[in-house]
Structure 1
Amino acid sequence: MPVSLPSPLLPPPSISAKSAQEEPARSWNTQKLGLRVGADALAAGSAGVLVAPIITMIDKGIIENASGRNTLGESLKKSARELFVSPHRFLGSKPFALIFTLYFGTYFTANTLDTTTSTLKSTPPSTTTAGTPKFLATSTANLALCLYKDSRFTQLFGSTGPSRPVPLPTFALFTIRDCLTIYASFNLPPLLAPTVAQHMGAEAQKWMSAASVAQFVTPAAVQVFSTPLHLLGLDLYNRPRVKVGGVDGRAKRVLRDWGKASLARMGRIVPAFGVGGVVNTKVRRGLMERLE
């Protein structure tokens, strides 16, 4: 009689003991968040109130010169006289309020985006960014505020006839102009600073950092390309029935004013995104480092 051998016991299927390593909980840097947003506003306000007077005068002068209401030089003299003789009237005027709101809003948007990024990524409060989100955020804020400011300035200081709505082509040209300026003001300087540092000696960087040089030069240089767009937009409003060509067409008018208008716009951009950008960055960094 055959003997049945017991079947070998098979080991039970092994239950793989997966390590119960839990992903670390994401931590947000919300420490002193209210004070940090306050520092963002204070830095933006400091920069805005510093640059608004000169930009108000230059913007008014460029528009009055383009419309024929006044020459650029005479308009600047008149505005400067009002600033020094009646500062309360100048600083309380609608043009000054429009310019201050424009740059405060732009700087504050850039600052709060940096604060939001440092909060979500748990980095030090003084951290700054230079990517696409910052460009989109600052461009959106600047465009919305600048288009409103430009429409009001054009109606206030444009052609001598009755005030009328600003045409859509003028808005489109102003939009392209501002996109160029914003990109050259907030995104290019951090990218170009390392290259600038390579061409600056160590002794020169003791007086001014490469980041500050890039912040001054880049926004000013782009005005050579954006000023014709600005002048063409103004001419579309001032002379709605004029053709592009002809003896006194739009192209000739733009070429006539390109040089001095470019210099004037450089004169407004250097304080707006050069001086203002440096002041905003340094005031914000100093306040944030104290909070750290």
Structure 2
Amino acid sequence: MKDSGIGGLEAPRAPPQLQLNAVKPSQLATAASAAPRALPAPAITTEPKTGSTPAAKWNTKNLALRLGTDFISAASAAALVAPIISIIDRSIMENASGQRSLVDSLKSSFQTLLRAPHRVIFSKPFALIFAVYGGTYLTANTLDTATSTTRSLPATHVTSGTAKFAASSAANIGICIYKDQVFVRLFGPQGITPRPVTLPSYLLFAARDCMTIFASFNVPPLLGPALSRRVGDEVQRYVSGQTMAQFAAPAAVQLASTPVHLWGLDIYNRPGVTCWRDRWAVVRKNWAVSTAARICRIVPAFGVGGVVNYKVRRGLMEKLV
């Protein structure tokens, strides 16, 4: 150890200073270029999920009034046709059960309607028929309104698809089956205690109603434009293809649905018969007169009633568009 002259020890040396001023700018640039470059951050993009679509805008304009229109048009049509249909239904039931002939029953009921209309209008048959057709028209109308609302279509839109057939059939069959089991008890065979309607009769009545509903609600919107194209403009000045289809389709289907109806009545009226040939003999015997009566019944029910319901609803809906 070297002697510094002070205590015999060498004094500590100061650390050397960094010579920053000795680094040239060109050297800093070279060092910076040699350093690894950071990768750019990937751009984050959000893609719409598969199958997602913008929310459709509902047509809720005057929705409460549109539903009121559905009810008014259905009630108007049902009240108009209920007196005639209740009389015809009674005559068919009494003829099938053997109480009275169809002509005698019609004559007696129409005399009552002319002389004392309140006895018909405030009767149970009238109320049942009003419920059947009022409920059927109302179901079809509200389905049209629901479709026009959810699909943002005009308030006057009328559907003709499976949903309308299913909904109208469910309403019509449900109320009509109740009506039929009341009618067969009221106007069934004399001297026989009324009994419950069996399942086979219910099924036949349901099949009859499905045929009528399909011809009344689904066929006219499809057949109407075709008839309009075939008939001339002179004819369409007085009656449109839609109106012709509304009358023709429900009437034509009665040729096939009346035997189904008579078969269901015969099962109730003659529960002990097991041979289908015996039943078919009765059905064939009453087929012509009953078909004519049911055509006269269905023309007001789904012809006149259908046109009234359609025109009243459309007229009121056009004011709410």
Question: TM > 0.5 between the two?
Answer: yes
> Partners in 1 of 2:252 and 2:53 — Cα distance?
48
Aligned AA (1:240):
P
Residue of 255, 265, 271 corresponding to 1:240: 271
One-letter amino acid of the structure 2 residue matched with residue 74 of structure 1: D
| Correspondence list, 1:138-177, <5 A | 138-160=168-190, 161-177=192-208
What does residue 265 of structure 1 align with? 294
Structure 2: distance between partners of 1:244 and 1:205: 51
Counterpart residue identity of residue 45, structure 1: A
Matches for 1:133-212 after TM superposition, within 5 Å = 133-160=163-190, 161-212=192-243
1:111 equivalenced with 2:134 (yes/no):
no
Amino acid at match of 2:76: S
| 2:255 aligned with 1:255 | no
- Tell me by how many angstroms 1:9 deviates: 4.7
- State how far apart, in whole Å, the 1-side matches of 2:276 and 2:307 are: 42
Moved more, 29-38 or 250-259: 29-38
Q: Give 3-state SS (helix, strand or coil) of 1:291's partner.
A: coil
Q: Which has the larger radius of gyration?
A: 2
What is the aligned partner in structure 2 of residue 71 from structure 1?
101
* Aligned equivalents of 1:56, 1:18: Cα separation in 2: 65
Which moves more between the two structures, 11-20 or 96-105? 11-20
Quickly say closer, same or farther: Cα 1:145–1:245, change in 2 above 3 A: closer
- Give the share of equivalent positions with the same residue, in percent: 53
Residue type matched to 1:56 in 2? S
Asked if 1:51 is matched to 2:57, the reply is no
1:88 is aligned to 2:139:
no
User: 1:225 corresponds to which residue?
Assistant: 256
Amino acid at match of 1:94: K
2:151 aligns to what? 121
Report the count of equivalent residues: 288
TM-score, normalised to structure 1, is 0.93
Partners of 1:25 and 1:97 in 2: CA distance: 44
Aligned counterpart, 2:63: 33
Q: Which residue of 1 aligns with 2:13?
A: none
Q: CA deviation at 1:125?
A: 1.1
CA shift digits 1:4-62 (9 cap, x unpaired):
97378576254155589x96443211221111111100000110011111101110000
Deviations 1:162-216 (A, max 9, x none): 1111111111100101011101110111111222123211111111110111111
Displacement of 1:283 in angstroms is 0.2
Once residues 209 and 262 of structure 1 are traced to their aligned partners in structure 2, the CA distance between those partners, rounded to angstroms, is 26
CA distance in 1, matches of 2:197, 2:276: 22
Deviation string 1:240-270 (CA, Å, 9 cap, x unpaired) is 1123356xx2111100111111111111111
Query: Letter of the aligned partner of 2:100 in structure 1?
Result: N
TM-score, structure 2 normalization: 0.85
Q: CA RMSD in A?
A: 2.0
Find the counterpart in structure 2 of residue 287 from structure 1: 316
Q: Deviations over 1:108-149 (max 9, x none)?
A: 000011111111111111111111111111000000000000
| C-alpha distance in 1 between matches for 2:316 and 2:67 | 11
Distance 1:19 1:179 in 2: 48
